Structure 1
């Protein structure tokens, strides 16, 4: 799903103004905590939660029933940050080059309707500039697929203009196949060995075809209120399979932006948005807030779950919030919540 990037200054300002305490009011909760219940105001979102981290301290808030700090949930496209990190680690180890073609690792796979893996680089997959169609537009994220089936669906469509940013989960399905080709292990096994185990992300996993969530967990709901807690993760694969927790996502993004997972050169590559014309790096995208602060992270949408993590460069401040349904009540609230967390408060 395309990441939200457009900051609507007026809705943000009005939301924060409405939350500002008067001189005679009692001490108010942090602005992010006050915004959180607004995610439930429209559209029937059952519950929301956030976990903010600054240095060694954390702050948790929740709104609505049936949600808790320790819950496991599906993280959707946040998976892409994990996959991009593994690919860049392999580049740092000189086991692949970002300028390599897809054809070099997956010969003959990407051909059809004008798509050609011989002219498509790994960099273009990482930055969503390959032009490949998003298979999820056809499946609507509800059809379990093998990686090859997902790619073949995408190849029934002509590509977008080469070099133009066009968000496509097909790119990251292919990167999952490249990881397996280079290492001899699945993308899940490599992410476990390289990221999950070293960081102690005990609540994070790649479930494969397992339809249940680990305990503890709450319920997950489709937009129409249907319970979709049981879900086959193969609807997303390497583009959105991840199951995790609020604390684990905060820890992962703090470590990544803090330079613990990639050498400095490769972290700079990850944050370089020039290929995607400022819109996307590699598994991360920037948002410049009204106060001038830029935060980096990703969002994730999969049936029954919407998640968003954002962090400052250096990883000292991180925020993750989630709702246990497919989208938040009002998309304008996302930039408002980020601004409330990362922009300085004035008295």
Structure 2
């Protein structure tokens, strides 16, 4: 959700430049895909999000008997063309669930342990200014309990949070090693307990954790992180509209223009073109493919039971504020929802011009995915957009 502090910090820094056997089974596509009727709850909720000041929004609910889609708004302000149902968009930090899944597959194969330290796989990378990779485990990275600074936020100047700064930096790509170096250039928030680092419960959202996790994947496999995501998740599940863009700042067609309302700006800025990070936030997908991934993951088709259980081991996430009671696992979060006995699993992601929001039931039976092509950076309009999106997600899964 865009209400969590980390999402806004990440967006600000972007301006500043700052296989197991189960993977062989393809995700079963919903039997039918249909648009919801004009008066359906999903359509009403999508229209409510649009009425909060969003240029265009799409959503899809998938279940065992098919999927229902809804949309509202336009593909571009000033035009009459509707936002495409199958629009590509940057899923932002929803990428972290993909990364965590790859890491846990490696754990299931015995090639990596959650208790392994960062130092073991990346000697000397996390050192200096009190940072110590010998005290940070793979579990700390995935659960956001490492204490590492968010590279996005280091040295960020809110006064440079402008359309001009965006235009200067939208083609600029950073290597993961540069991002980690920026993060360890300042003292950490804390160091995990020396006697039991993997058991650390202090929590702080940091994109750096997943940049480091991506580097660990490459150290273990000897192959690029993107290749592992493709060969372990995208290809086995038949996600034909999901990919990692590398350093390309462009989205393929069909898509919709993404707009950002910068602080002190009264009108929106077209921020469709831009860099999207790496293992922490670069994946491009569609609502349909994203839903297939979530249902396959929680339906047990990507991870062995022990690793899926580990993913569900959570700690309180007090700084994450889409709703009370949020807890963070390994690359996925959980929160209680009235009317849903087991609560829901979710993440969410923001990028300039787009807000991705999703959730899945505990058994993987039903998933909801959505993309809103307008990002507001603070203010009552942002809060209202968040509230209405939460309502849509929760009602879709009840």
What's the TM-score once normalised by structure 2's chain length? 0.76
Gaps of 5+ in 2: 6-36, 76-82, 193-199, 263-267, 319-325, 377-381
CA distance in 1, matches of 2:125, 2:241: 34
Match of 2:212 among 174, 188, 198: 174
Alpha-carbon contact 2:2-2:350 (below 8 Å) kept: no
1:286 aligns with 2:334: yes
CA distance in 1, matches of 2:336, 2:108: 29
* Deviates most, 136-145 or 312-321: 136-145
Deviations 1:201-255 (A, max 9, x none): 000000010111122222111224111221123xx21100010011000000000
Alpha-carbon contact 1:207-1:241 (below 8 Å) kept: yes
SS of the aligned residue for 1:91 comes to helix
Match of 1:73 among 89, 110, 130: 89
Deviations 1:80-132 (A, max 9, x none): 00000000000000001000000001000101221100111000000000000
Match of 1:299 among 348, 368, 377: 348
Q: Which residue of 2 aligns with 1:227?
A: 270
CA RMSD, 1 decimal: 2.1
SS of the aligned residue for 2:223 comes to coil
SS of the aligned residue for 2:68 comes to strand
- Superposition deviation, residue 297 in structure 1: 1.9
1:147 aligns with 2:176: yes
Residue 104 to residue 275, structure 1, CA distance change in 2 (3 Å): farther
Query: How many aligned residue pairs are there?
Result: 319
Q: Which residue of 2 aligns with 1:131?
A: 147
Match of 1:90 among 99, 106, 111: 106
1:205 aligns with 2:243: yes
- Superposition deviation, residue 282 in structure 1: 0.6
Alpha-carbon contact 2:358-2:393 (below 8 Å) kept: no
The aligned runs of 1:1-347 (5 Å cut-off) are 29-42=39-52, 44-66=53-75, 67-138=83-154, 144-161=173-190, 162=192, 163=200, 164-224=202-262, 225-233=268-276, 236-274=277-315, 279-293=327-341, 294-327=343-376, 329-343=384-398
Alpha-carbon contact 1:253-1:297 (below 8 Å) kept: no
Alpha-carbon contact 2:2-2:386 (below 8 Å) kept: no
- Superposition deviation, residue 295 in structure 1: 0.9
* Deviates most, 217-226 or 254-263: 217-226
- Superposition deviation, residue 275 in structure 1: 7.9
Q: Which residue of 1 aligns with 2:265?
A: none
Alpha-carbon contact 1:254-1:315 (below 8 Å) kept: yes
CA distance in 1, matches of 2:55, 2:46: 12
Alpha-carbon contact 1:95-1:182 (below 8 Å) kept: yes
Gaps of 5+ in 1: 6-26
- Superposition deviation, residue 186 in structure 1: 0.9
- Superposition deviation, residue 153 in structure 1: 1.2
Alpha-carbon contact 2:58-2:69 (below 8 Å) kept: yes
SS of the aligned residue for 2:261 comes to coil
